[in-house]
Amino acid sequence: MKRGLLVLAVLAVAVLSVPRANAHHSFGATYLEDKTITLDGALVQMLFRNPHSYVQIDVKDASGQLVRWNIEWGGVVQLSQKGVTRDTLKPGDQVVVVGNPSRTAEDHRMRLVKITRPSDGWTWGQSYD
């Protein structure tokens, strides 16, 4: 049991120590990586694609108006290796997304750091490798 835990710990350290493999454009040049925001909304569509996937969600702003957010995710292979498929998320799913906001606020864009679907507890987060 102890040995199993040790192996798990070593694996966890190994996974966490691997640098995130981001590409296409510099995420630091696109998003405010030292800030995170949380959005709660309904999924409009998931674009499972290269170079990066996107999820689009409608979120109510302070005045109650629906605002569409484009949220950048990993590429097809990166997500596939983590068990995400094009059918993982469906239009209408209520999701909570944590991410880094765009440098330009009016873009309503975000880089996905963590996504959760409260209805069944499904979640994805952190690693793009």
Q: Is 23 in the site for other proteins (CB under 8 A)?
A: yes
Question: Token digits for 22?
Answer: 């981001």
Please identify, using beta-carbon distances, which residue of 82 and 117 lies nearer to other proteins: 82
Q: Contact 41/112 with Cβ under 8 angstroms?
A: no
In angstroms, what is the minimal distance from the CB of 120 to other proteins? 27
49-62 residues labelled b (16+ CB within 10 A) or e (exposed) = eeebbbbbbeeeee
Subset of residues 3 to 22 that bind other proteins, contact rule: CB under 8 A: 12-13, 16-22
Please identify, using beta-carbon distances, which residue of 25 and 60 lies nearer to other proteins: 25
Q: Is 67 in the site for other proteins (CB under 8 A)?
A: no
Please identify, using beta-carbon distances, which residue of 49 and 118 lies nearer to other proteins: 49
In angstroms, what is the minimal distance from the CB of 17 to other proteins? 6
Q: Which of 36, 44, 54, 88 binds other proteins (CB under 8 A)?
A: 54
Q: Which of 7, 25, 35, 60 binds other proteins (CB under 8 A)?
A: 25
- Across-strand partners of 102? 31
Nearest to 39 by CA among 107, 106, 89, 94: 94
Task: Please tell me the distance from the alpha carbon of residue 103 to that of residue 28, in angstroms, as a whole number.
Answer: 9
77: CB partners within 8 A, 6+ apart? 50
Q: Is 51 in the site for other proteins (CB under 8 A)?
A: yes
